[in-house]
Amino acid sequence: MISQHRGPRTLTASTVTAGDEYAGIPQLPSTQPSAVVRCSAQTPGPDPKPIRVLLVIDMSLLRGALAALLSSEDDIDVVAGIAAGDRVVPTAIRHQPDIAVLDVDQGGSEVLASAQALHERLPECRVVVLAAAQRPGLVRRALDVPVAGAVDKDSQPRRLLTTIRQVARGKRTIDPALAVAAIGVAGSPLTPRELTVLDLASGGASPAEIAQRLFLSRGTVCNYLSRIMTKLEARTRIDAIRIAAEAGWI
């Protein structure tokens, strides 16, 4: 009896847990021949382990588009996709990604704090950031965090794929446009943590709110703000924010 013909099977990425933004991302069927004639009788080895990727991107549309792009690659597995926030580290610990892709252009200081926390809590997960060269102060702050890769958001999508693969092989890859932008910013006397505190303060966050977001005590945040004003020779917190903004640091 002739068996019924079946069309190509659609593969799906690993299903993520409840609370994540998507599951079962369709992958494009392979265009390669289904069978290959091998001259050698040697049994081929197992396929290499795919690169496990966590996406931390606030914009749902962009997050979904990148998830579809990455999941269409045979060697990349998107294990979760979430917006920035206090779920980043717990999600990474649960899914154990090889690489976390974070959009610092949208998330700003909160995403930079997550990148630092990932480096401290899950050092085996390497961080790749997406940034815009038009915000050189933020780019410089991102590069001060121990990130393994940085991709200009104006570049072609294949640049992100290349960066992920290079970072997975242990390389550090910074987009030339972002490196030039960071070099053009005068060096800040403030530490990355102080810049993060000041950036959050510039958005109207109180010391108590900053402490909650950065998992610090209120007294520690007040000490940071006091040191910031001393370093910048600012009379008030507002003056310190103005000085840092004019210099392109926040």
Q: The domain spanning residue 124 has which CATH number?
A: 3.40.50.2300
Asked if 159 and 54 sit in the same domain, the reply is: yes
Task: Say yes or no: 160 and 71 in one domain.
Answer: yes
Output the CA torsion sign for 105, 109, 114, 118: positive
**Sheet containing 149-152: order of strands:** 76-82, 51-56, 99-103, 126-131, 149-152, 173-174
What is the pLDDT of the chain when averaged over all its residues? Answer: 80
Asked if the model's pLDDT at residue 222 lies above 70, the reply is yes
CATH number at residue 238: 1.10.10.10
The string over 155-176, giving b where at least 16 C-beta atoms fall within 10 Å of a residue's C-beta and e elsewhere, is beeeebbebbbebbeeeebbbe
pLDDT value of residue 20: 52
Same domain flag for 90 and 172: yes
The answer as to whether 23 is a domain residue is no
CA nearest 221: which of 199, 241, 245, 194?
194
Q: Is 232 helix (H, G, I), strand (E, B) or coil?
A: helix
Predicted TM-score (pTM) of this structure:
0.64
Q: What is the pLDDT of residue 13?
A: 40
Query: 105 with 170, same domain?
Result: yes
Task: Report the candidate in 195, 188, 186, 103 with the shortest Cα–Cα distance to residue 147.
Answer: 103
Please tell me whether residue 12 adopts helix, strand or coil conformation.
Answer: strand
The answer to whether 101 touches 67, Cβ cutoff 8 Å, is no
179 in the same domain as 127? yes
pLDDT in tens, 186-218: 667 888 789 889 989 988 899 999 999 888 999
Q: Considering only residues 232 and 4, tell me which one the structure prediction assigns the higher pLDDT.
A: 232
Strand pairing report for 76-82 and 11-12: unpaired
pLDDT score for 129: 93
With left for phi above 0 and alpha for psi between -120 and 50, is residue 204 left, alpha or beta? left
In this prediction, residue 240 has a pLDDT band, given cuts at 50, 70 and 90, of very high
pLDDT (tens digit per residue) in 33-74: 433 333 334 445 556 799 999 999 999 999 999 999 999 999
Secondary structure (3-state) at 31: coil
Handedness of CA 218, 219, 221, 226 (dihedral sign): positive
Last residue of a domain, one of 155, 183, 211: 183
Residues 130 and 238 in one domain: no
Q: Which domain holds residue 199?
A: 192-246
Whether 2 maps to a domain, the answer reads no
Q: Domain boundary residue among 162, 183, 204?
A: 183
- CA–CA gap between residue 173 and residue 113 (Å, rounded): 21
Q: Counting beta carbons within 10 angstroms of the beta carbon of residue 80, is it exposed (0 to 12), middle (13 to 18) or buried (19 or more)?
A: buried
217 and 173 in a common domain: no
Distance CA 88, CA 95 (A): 11
